[in-house]
Structure 1
């Protein structure tokens, strides 16, 4: 997919310190504890969120159900991510990890949700060919089960040296800590379409999260572009049962679309 690169905004001096005219979002996990989603949603420049769901095979984030339910309640666009463990081998092959991700967090891969994400950070010693193949098989499996190809998250270094974009055929969420949401990372070598999300800091101070700075991200597009990314298919049937077991609910059983 080829997208037009958005220019660096020329208006930061017109904004309050730390503010941005671009769409910003956060990503959280159990490390952020019990997020106060009412307070978070009320802040300027919190337009979306990604939530950790799973890691490897057998690890479900302890705050997954709570974060999904609470973020839905305040009507914040969200997606879920899987932290890949290609370094463990054995049962943690890409198909097993993909199935575990969908089986565990498939309720957040339905109507109104942002695309799921594959978080690639480890096992550089395996090399580019192995990590690209591993990622591609994971992406294919999730896409075959959900109808949506996941986005890949990686550092700029990892994306350039260990993942082949021409094979993966998906969008990139790149980590590059410019510390300023109005400063784009440099062009990502080997990713001609550029990046879709940019994690620009891991230290954003945000009311509602009291465990120190939180990861914050820029979306390369407008609100209409963000909405266009969201699933249009119904939430899979396991959603109600999974959340009911945790004592939580979705809004009307599914995410609402914006607009």
Structure 2
């Protein structure tokens, strides 16, 4: 999982120092955005010229929605030289994690080891139209996420990135630490500080620090340098 992958093999004393270093330089890492059809037509050449290095692009939601701008955004970002990947907005109340992972993979969420494709991102957060935890218990939610994650990893060889907020994660998974060893964390927390992150993870690999800014969509940063981002 990017920088978290090589950190797994460091001695504990070096690991602690590395984590401190990464947290200290969080906002100085490669800048990115995440977008969907809500942003409309995007001038990707201008986005790249504005210093953006990577982008997550909405591909799917549940098993019934395909983002109509996904292909144009993906091609545009690629042509502009950005590292890019797709994301899936989860609806754990509508079908299994495996079913939604398969839907995502079939519609733009795949991964290849080409140095420009980000592993797929699972956007798991507040229900936009109903119970905040989609009617699932904490244990059922953890099982759903594991089903999605394991299905994605089985088909691609990489675990998906998990995007969430600490509040939602604590409320709806019981602050589960079950994913920290395999899944990179993408935390959403607006402001100048990343705040507390969910249990198990020592740091967030990606941080969504604002919902608006000089570039389209949400404003993100990678916790590392450009070489680590490619890795």
TM-score scaled by structure 1?
0.73
Find out whether 1:76 has 2:73 as its counterpart: no
Per-residue displacement from partner, 1:177-230 (whole Å, max 9, x unpaired)? 11x3xx3x1231413322111110001132xx4xxxx201111111111010xx
Find out whether 1:223 has 2:231 as its counterpart: no
- Partners of 2:198 and 2:82 lie apart in 1 by 32
Find out whether 1:34 has 2:41 as its counterpart: yes
Find out whether 1:115 has 2:119 as its counterpart: yes
**Are residues 55 and 187 of structure 1, via their aligned partners in 2, closer, same or farther at CA, if it must alter by over 3 Å?**
same
1:167 positional shift: 4.6
- Partners of 1:74 and 1:202 lie apart in 2 by 23
- Partners of 1:171 and 1:109 lie apart in 2 by 15
Find out whether 1:85 has 2:98 as its counterpart: no
Unaligned ranges ≥5, structure 1: 11-19, 229-259
What is the 5 A alignment of 1:106-255? Answer: 106=109, 108-110=110-112, 111=114, 112-121=116-125, 122=127, 123-124=132-133, 125-163=135-173, 164-167=176-179, 169-178=182-191, 180=192, 183=193, 185-206=194-215, 209=216, 214-228=217-231
Find out whether 1:23 has 2:25 as its counterpart: no
Q: CA RMSD in A?
A: 2.0
1:147 positional shift: 1.2
Count of residues in Structure 1 that have an aligned counterpart in Structure 2: 204
- Partners of 1:9 and 1:82 lie apart in 2 by 28
- Partners of 1:216 and 1:129 lie apart in 2 by 32
1:174 positional shift: 0.5
SS in 2 for 1:204: coil
- Partners of 2:167 and 2:61 lie apart in 1 by 22
TM-score scaled by structure 2?
0.81
Q: Is the 8 A contact 1:24 1:219 kept in 2?
A: yes
Partner of 1:95: 98
Unaligned ranges ≥5, structure 2: 9-14
- Partners of 1:204 and 1:79 lie apart in 2 by 21
Find out whether 1:104 has 2:114 as its counterpart: no
